[in-house]
């Protein structure tokens, strides 16, 4: 099982590394067609990156619906992708070099999301009381998470699109220190890959939007903290704090829910 998880992580890293290389490779051509005001050619080239970015936008919209930050069915992912194309075409001059292009696309996607997802006061009760949760409360939370997931079936179906490579969360996304290897081994014996993915997804849904988004950019898209800081228009220190918080809450949730520490 550990070998399978390691292979999945390696595949994710390779895929995202390849995407960045592809972005650098096609940037000169994209720049040329933009200077020539050839919008159809620009659209054809830039849509190479649409599946990845579409998945990112969809995941954030689903999270916002679950937290009540936007009404279900108010926004269509395809409409936002059309808006992103317009933004990319009209503001392409902002990209300074080919190495900046891929991160810049995600930054524009994030700006779109920020415009439609309402800011709200974050309820920290989950984080503050995580040590006190009983097993029945974890079960109720998972049941509620499943029900909330039906809030916008169209977007859920977008996330489950078979044309997009499945990239579940793994324990390696949470437990990053070598000293935590025994925890990974114990949990791997107790839980299936689907149970692990679902637990991580559920706990992330309880965190503040910037925290869960930064975590996804780090583990799903393999962006470095400095790149995430650019996407989010915040400091690197802020990104590192978000990632630390996400992993700490996830660690504690696994330890408490699955009795890995004494009560």
- Asked whether residue 185 carries a pLDDT value surpassing 60, the answer given is yes
> Looking at the domain assignment, is residue 263 inside a domain?
no
Same domain, 108 and 65: yes
Residue range(s) defining the domain that contains residue 66 = 2-116
Decide if 201 contacts 215 (C-beta within 8 A): no
Residue 112 and residue 129 in one domain:
no
| Measured distance CA(253)–CA(130) in Å, rounded | 7
Whether the predicted model's global pTM rises above the 0.75 cut: yes
194-4-248-137 Cα dihedral, nearest 10 degrees: 20
The pLDDT of residue 165 is 58
Q: What are 33-56's pLDDT values in tens digits?
A: 999 999 999 999 999 999 999 999
**How far apart are the C-alpha atoms of 80 and 33, rounded to whole Å?**
23
Check whether residue 214 and residue 235 sit in a common domain: yes
Residue 127, pLDDT > 50, answer yes
Give the domain CATH number at 33.
Answer: 1.10.1740
182: in domain: yes
Q: Does the residue 152 lie in any domain?
A: yes
* For residue 6, pLDDT beyond 60: no
For residues 84 and 112, is the Cβ–Cβ distance under 8 A? yes
Give the pLDDT confidence of 76-89 residue by residue, as tens digits: 999 999 999 999 99
Q: Where residue 8 falls among pLDDT bands split at 50, 70, 90?
A: low
Model confidence band, residue 162 (pLDDT cutoffs 50, 70, 90): very low
Same domain for 109 and 175, yes or no, is no
Amino acid 263: pLDDT: 43
- Number of domains forming the structure of the chain: 2
pLDDT computed for residue 237 by the predictor? 98
Q: Which of 139, 150, 243 is nearest to 199 (CA)?
A: 139
At 200 the pLDDT is 96
Cα dihedral sign, 209-244-105-13:
negative
- Using the 3D structure, point to which of 79, 97, 116 is the last residue of a domain: 116
**Is 202 in contact with 195 (CB distance < 8 Å)?**
no
For residues 104 and 145, membership in a common domain is answered with: no
Residues 146 and 46 in one domain: no
* 203 and 224 together in one domain: yes
Q: CA geometry: angle at 201 spanning 213 and 79, to 5°?
A: 55
Tell me how far apart the alpha carbons of residues 7 and 193 are, in angstroms, rounded to a whole number.
14
- Let me know if residue 82 belongs to a domain: yes
Same domain, 102 and 131: no
* Domain end position, chosen among 98, 116, 134: 116
CA distances from 118 to 19, 162, 163, 235 (A): 31, 30, 31, 22
């Amino acid at each position: 099982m550990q070998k399978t998880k390691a292979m999945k992580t390696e595949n994710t890293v390779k895929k995202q590394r390849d995407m960045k290389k592809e972005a650098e490779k096609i940037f000169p051509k994209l720049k040329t067609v933009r200077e020539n005001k050839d919008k159809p050619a620009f659209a054809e080239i830039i849509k190479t990156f649409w599946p990845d970015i579409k998945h990112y936008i969809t995941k954030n919209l689903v999270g916002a619906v679950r937290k009540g930050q936007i009404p279900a069915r108010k926004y269509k992912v395809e409409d936002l992708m059309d808006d992103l194309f317009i933004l990319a075409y009209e503001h392409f001059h902002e990209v300074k070099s080919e190495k900046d292009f891929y991160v810049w696309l995600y930054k524009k996607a994030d700006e779109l999301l920020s415009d439609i997802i309402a800011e709200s006061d974050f309820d920290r009760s989950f984080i503050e009381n995580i040590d006190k949760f009983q097993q029945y409360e974890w079960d109720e939370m998972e049941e509620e998470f499943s029900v909330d997931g039906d809030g916008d079936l169209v977007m859920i179906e977008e996330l489950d699109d078979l044309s997009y490579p499945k990239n579940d969360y793994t324990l390696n996304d949470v437990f990053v220190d070598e000293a935590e290897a025994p925890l990974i081994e114990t949990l791997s014996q107790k839980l299936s890959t689907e149970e692990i993915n679902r637990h991580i997804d559920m706990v992330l849904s309880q965190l503040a939007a910037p925290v869960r988004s930064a975590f996804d950019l780090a583990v799903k898209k393999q962006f470095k903290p400095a790149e995430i800081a650019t996407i989010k228009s915040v400091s690197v220190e802020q990104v590192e704090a978000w990632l630390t918080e996400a992993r700490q809450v996830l660690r504690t949730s696994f330890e408490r829910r699955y009795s890995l520490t004494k009560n």
